[in-house]
Structure 1
Amino acid sequence: MTVKVALMAPDRQHIYANRAYLAMIGTTLDKAVGTTIGDMLGPDLLRNTASAADRALAGETVQTEGWITQADGQQRYVTRMHAPHRDEAGAVTGYFVILQDMTERRQVQDDLFRLAYYDPVTGLANRLMLLKHMADYRNMGEPFTLVILDIDRFAEIRSSMGQGFANELLDDLAQRMAAQAAAFDLIARVSDHAFALLGSSACDRPLIEGAVETLAAAVRSVRSSSGGTVFLSASVGIAEAMPGHERPEDVLRDAEIATARAREMGGGRMAWFDPTMHAHMVEQVRLEHDLRGALASGNDIWVAYQPIVEMVTGGLAGFEALMRWSHPKRGNIPPGVFIPIAESTGLVVSLGTWVLREACRQIAEWQDRREPGSAPLFMSVNLSSHQLSDPNFVQVVREVLRETGVEPSWIKLELTESAVMDKAEQSIRLLRDLRALGIKLSIDDFGTGYSSLSYLHKLPIDSLKVDRSFVSAMHQSEENRAIVRIIMDLARLLGFDVIAEGIETSADANLLRALACDYGQGYHFARPLPPADAGRLVGGDLPWQMPR
């Protein structure tokens, strides 16, 4: 590496320079002598180095670094040393300028910095840079607010459309946010599908909420560079830096907790953090830990069975298997509490397999105890959207059937219409594979989602289950009864049988019989029962057939 050296007079003019220095300024020695660096490379460089030159003339040795534009126009990054030149008596008679080219090292440092602090897909700052900025604000005593914008269902879009298409969407979103985020100081990509926006100064809620609405509109208008579009929405969480936050990570944590709350509200929502959310999140984490332990041990989770009744005869047709959790310290945890936790963590796949295996084992045992000559009982088992997305699910079902010795026709898997229609073509392929095993299939909560009749007739299903909300409303008006009648007529037209859930009274049961409903379940017949109590029904001792 060639060192560039020049000797300067007190008036900043060149006295001497070596060949490398002269090549940098684009001249020869005889032309350089008597000129300043400003004459050669511009007055800005002369001004920028004036302080170091003054200090060198005062007897100091000064080292600085920075960019220089050479005579040929190239930008080079150099270290500059200004050192005094003394005569034999020790008096300062000028100063040396010694330059060392560090451009390659600086480029490597810049590349490493970009890798460490910037997202390669969008070019935005990353999580580390965001935390660095927040730490700087905190050290300066500057208030700030953090917004997390998390794209809803992005993982599903990526899996169905491909990583390249997803990256194009992210890049377009980054550009749109940069154009619409004047209220914020920094935009960062903090996870695969989440962005953070950092705003300094005191928190102005109306201003921030207005800015977030603008950003939400930008999310909805995103498209790929090739012109492809999908509908996007975002769950937004907002947290204000408070005195109780000891670290920048605490503010980021709270904003992410608020984002999770917005997602729980259905997505496309906005939520401000409050301390109760943190307590709720801690509780959720504890419950998730305990639920994993219960699944591993098999001690505290069990299956309840609610009878499904043949409406005309009142006979027992089968059961629905429903998971229950008896926590050793907290008592019975409602399914409405632990099932969403299992869904959000992906644990529902393992739980679903466990319930399926237990239900199959149980129905195999009960078939041998049913009344002589009666039709085989069936067992309904709920299927989650996560299981629908599991590429190994059909193989899992096949292995469970083999392990338990169950006839496939005894098992009826229930799927919500929303889960099916969310990925209709993929779901149809999976359902056909299950049907090929001999499994029966049912659409649960029919009428509450967004079924498309163009798909409904393609689904290889056996049953429609009428949601309890329709059953409970039948007595309120003729219009409500007409809805149930239409569902039943549609089912018969397509060759499906109908199960009505939520039958609470004899009036409910009588009206459904009049409408020719095939099967029913609800508290009018029995609540979900422990295995031993449900087993007593198999022998024909049916309380709902007895006079009341």
Structure 2
Amino acid sequence: MTPDRPLDTLARALSGRGSAAAGLDAFRHLLDAMPVMIGLVDERRRHVFANHAYLEFTGRSMDELDGLSMAEVLGEDFHRAAHSAIERVMRGETVQTEGWMPNPRGGQCYMLRVLAPHRAEDGSVAGCFTLLQDMTERRQSQDDLFRLAYYDPVTALANRALMLKHMGDFRAMGEQFTLIVVEIDRYPDIRSSLGQAFADELLGDLAERLTRDGGPVDLLARVSDHGFGLLISGPCDVPVIERRLETVSAIVRQARSSTGAAVFLSASIGVKATGDIPERAEDVLRDAEIAASRAREGGGGRRAWFEPGMHARVVEQVSLEHDLRGALERESGLWLAYQPIVELVTGGLAGFEALARWNHPERGNLPPGVFIPIAESTGLVVALGRWVLREACRQIVDWQDKRLPGSAPLFMSVNLSPRQLVDPGFVKTVRGILRETGCEPQWLKLEITESAVMDKAEQAIAILQELRALGIKMSIDDFGTGYSSLSYLHRLPIDSLKVDRSFVSAMHQSEENRAIVRIIVDLARILGFDVIAEGIETMADANLLRALAVDYGQGYHFARPLPVGEAEKLVIDEPPWRERG
């Protein structure tokens, strides 16, 4: 350690070396005025002098201090810690250290310590000066700053920065390690529905359980808003890590608030193990979080080990997100395809379902399965849904004017995402679009999934009722594949149930499968809904659904989703499926 220059100069002066030396007596009054504690012991380690600050610190007078050893005055712990330093001083060295030491009046204090030789007139070492400066407040301030920089205030665990620092240290030492990232599923929903305080209590309880029961780790940290990191040094033992993951998953399910209140918790877990080639700490943490994200895509409550292809996929998604955001801002490259919805009894055109499409400037037409999940995960689906709704309303208004006189009005079905259904400004948005485009409310049918409603049933019902009050029709999409409760179904202000294509395709396989469709139709009749079947591929499908009294149908038997020009021909001319019989 580099000696503190002022204290070292004073020590040299007191020890009788250098041009500043004037002897101990000449400095007595000066020393008593100094805040630095100065004591002198002889060659037997017995006190022979102390200034006022030293005496005040020890709580003794000079008469009481005279002849006492350092162990008797400053404690055995200090004496043991300083023993080797004093031996060096007695050989003529000056030694500076700092650290915590017992306070003779109780507690601990952090001291800057300079031990310097006191020399006799012949130059031999006759004793040892002890210079002490109380740095407790500075140290506590440093500790406070360290805690702020490296520890999480909610869980008292290490934070992301300290996790990165530890992994960087492992990398510098060439140490292999495994990082496990545990991300709580649906944490934003828990926080928004039950409050920040409740969410923090769950995190605190989970941190305690992981610390106590999660098994040995080199570091446990909160690495994100809803994520914990477990750092384990050494080559990765896959079976051992897998058992650890089972333990961690069970711990997450047991988390409770401080009041004992509980919600069902699950975690998506990602694992990244380093190999012989050192990797940057930031890259390891990123990869573990990518693996956790991939686990969440499987429905949550799962785990995944990082694979290189995952990173490439994320890079692609980030690129697509950027491009999609630009397409929405410029309204460029996005277009709607329209799939006809047919009245099964008459074969007449009843309406269309509007489906978003994206003609990427470099990748060409991208299927919805590529860009819709990106829009959902980033929140862009709200802006995308607004664009789709506006374009679909404009189009149905245009087509109504092109229908033959006396024709029944067409309706336009538009899919809603779960994010739109809980957007507090959504009803206002719909009202504004209807007014802007001149679309009659009854021409618009909004399609929602069972899961979108049931996730936040009361909130969804309230919004649906507001939409219904505007005169808009509504439909439950993919009915039978979710988890609707009949106690809620009869409360939903809907007009239609849409039978999922999986039931339609299975109708010809057995009487049981046909019975499922029949039950859906009967339920719809009891509740006053009409029924739409999707995924009609053949004439046989259409005939059987017609026999089961299904009202409407759509599918490739009638037409694929069409560009606006081709769809318009169906509006103006006789539909081709009528000619096929």
TM range (shorter): over 0.9
The residue identity in structure 1 corresponding to 2:195 is G
> Aligned pair 1:169/2:202, yes or no?
yes
1:76 and 1:450 map into 2 onto residues whose CA distance is 63
2:470 and 2:209 map into 1 onto residues whose CA distance is 49
Matches within 5 A, 1:484-523: 484-523=517-556
Q: Structure 1 residues 263-272 or 49-58, which shifts more?
A: 49-58
Q: CA deviation at 1:391?
A: 1.2
Give the equivalent residue in structure 2 for 1:276: 309
Q: Choose from 292, 295, 303 the match for 1:262.
A: 295
- Contact kept, 8 Å, 2:78 with 2:102, in 1: the verdict is no
Identity, in percent, stands at 68
2:299 and 2:483 map into 1 onto residues whose CA distance is 15
Give the equivalent residue in structure 2 for 1:253: 286
2:246 and 2:348 map into 1 onto residues whose CA distance is 56
1:155 and 1:363 map into 2 onto residues whose CA distance is 37
Q: Structure 1 residues 18-27 or 302-311, which shifts more?
A: 18-27
Q: State the Cα deviation string for residues 8-33 of structure 1 (Å, max 9, x = none).
A: 11221111112321232232222222
> Aligned pair 1:471/2:487, yes or no?
no
Q: CA deviation at 1:102?
A: 0.8
2:277 and 2:376 map into 1 onto residues whose CA distance is 32
- Contact kept, 8 Å, 1:5 with 1:99, in 2: the verdict is yes
- Contact kept, 8 Å, 2:343 with 2:349, in 1: the verdict is yes
Matches within 5 A, 1:31-110: 31-110=64-143
2:397 and 2:75 map into 1 onto residues whose CA distance is 92
Matches within 5 A, 1:377-416: 377-416=410-449
Task: Work out which of the two has the higher radius of gyration on C-alpha atoms and give 1 or 2.
Answer: 2
The residue identity in structure 2 corresponding to 1:479 is E
Give the equivalent residue in structure 2 for 1:124: 157
2:479 and 2:508 map into 1 onto residues whose CA distance is 19
1:329 and 1:70 map into 2 onto residues whose CA distance is 72
- Contact kept, 8 Å, 2:382 with 2:419, in 1: the verdict is yes
Q: Normalising by structure 1, what TM-score?
A: 0.98
- Contact kept, 8 Å, 1:127 with 1:189, in 2: the verdict is yes
2:217 and 2:536 map into 1 onto residues whose CA distance is 54
1:371 and 1:198 map into 2 onto residues whose CA distance is 71
> Aligned pair 1:238/2:279, yes or no?
no
Q: State the Cα deviation string for residues 221-267 of structure 1 (Å, max 9, x = none).
A: 11100111000000000001134554111111111111111011111
Matches within 5 A, 1:183-332: 183-332=216-365
- Contact kept, 8 Å, 1:183 with 1:208, in 2: the verdict is no
2:421 and 2:405 map into 1 onto residues whose CA distance is 37
Q: Structure 1 residues 157-166 or 179-188, which shifts more?
A: 179-188
Q: Choose from 367, 374, 386 the match for 2:407.
A: 374
Superposed CA RMSD: 1.2
Q: Choose from 474, 480, 485 the match for 1:452.
A: 485
2:305 and 2:477 map into 1 onto residues whose CA distance is 35
Q: CA deviation at 1:5?
A: 1.0
The residue identity in structure 1 corresponding to 2:436 is E
- Contact kept, 8 Å, 1:342 with 1:348, in 2: the verdict is yes
> Aligned pair 1:140/2:173, yes or no?
yes
> Aligned pair 1:151/2:184, yes or no?
yes
- Contact kept, 8 Å, 2:214 with 2:244, in 1: the verdict is yes
Give the equivalent residue in structure 2 for 1:9: 42
Give the equivalent residue in structure 1 for 2:379: 346
Matches within 5 A, 1:403-442: 403-442=436-475
2:90 and 2:73 map into 1 onto residues whose CA distance is 21
> Aligned pair 1:27/2:60, yes or no?
yes
1:392 and 1:11 map into 2 onto residues whose CA distance is 84
- Contact kept, 8 Å, 2:339 with 2:554, in 1: the verdict is yes
Secondary structure, counterpart of 2:116 in structure 1? strand
Q: Structure 1 residues 294-303 or 411-420, which shifts more?
A: 294-303
Secondary structure, counterpart of 1:8 in structure 2? strand
Secondary structure, counterpart of 2:68 in structure 1? coil
Q: Choose from 110, 113, 136 the match for 2:146.
A: 113
1:286 and 1:366 map into 2 onto residues whose CA distance is 37
Secondary structure, counterpart of 1:206 in structure 2? helix
The runs of 5 or more residues in structure 1 that have no matched partner are none
- Contact kept, 8 Å, 1:370 with 1:540, in 2: the verdict is no
> Aligned pair 1:534/2:556, yes or no?
no
The runs of 5 or more residues in structure 2 that have no matched partner are 1-33
Q: CA deviation at 1:289?
A: 1.6
- Contact kept, 8 Å, 1:183 with 1:211, in 2: the verdict is no
The residue identity in structure 2 corresponding to 1:457 is H
- Contact kept, 8 Å, 2:171 with 2:279, in 1: the verdict is no
Secondary structure, counterpart of 2:183 in structure 1? strand
Q: CA deviation at 1:403?
A: 1.1
1:294 and 1:68 map into 2 onto residues whose CA distance is 65
After TM superposition, the runs of 4+ consecutive aligned structure 1 residues lying more than 4 A away are: none
The residue identity in structure 1 corresponding to 2:100 is W
- Contact kept, 8 Å, 1:149 with 1:234, in 2: the verdict is yes
Q: Structure 1 residues 283-292 or 17-26, which shifts more?
A: 17-26
Secondary structure, counterpart of 1:66 in structure 2? strand
The residue identity in structure 2 corresponding to 1:92 is V
Q: State the Cα deviation string for residues 173-223 of structure 1 (Å, max 9, x = none).
A: 001111122242111101110111100011001101101110100100111
Q: State the Cα deviation string for residues 13-65 of structure 1 (Å, max 9, x = none).
A: 11111232123223222222212121234322101011222222222222111
1:229 and 1:358 map into 2 onto residues whose CA distance is 44
2:575 and 2:375 map into 1 onto residues whose CA distance is 34
2:309 and 2:258 map into 1 onto residues whose CA distance is 42
Q: CA deviation at 1:319?
A: 0.3
Secondary structure, counterpart of 2:580 in structure 1? coil
Q: State the Cα deviation string for residues 504-541 of structure 1 (Å, max 9, x = none).
A: 11111111111111111000110000001001111142
Secondary structure, counterpart of 1:253 in structure 2? helix
Secondary structure, counterpart of 1:546 in structure 2? helix
- Contact kept, 8 Å, 2:171 with 2:278, in 1: the verdict is no
- Contact kept, 8 Å, 1:245 with 1:251, in 2: the verdict is no
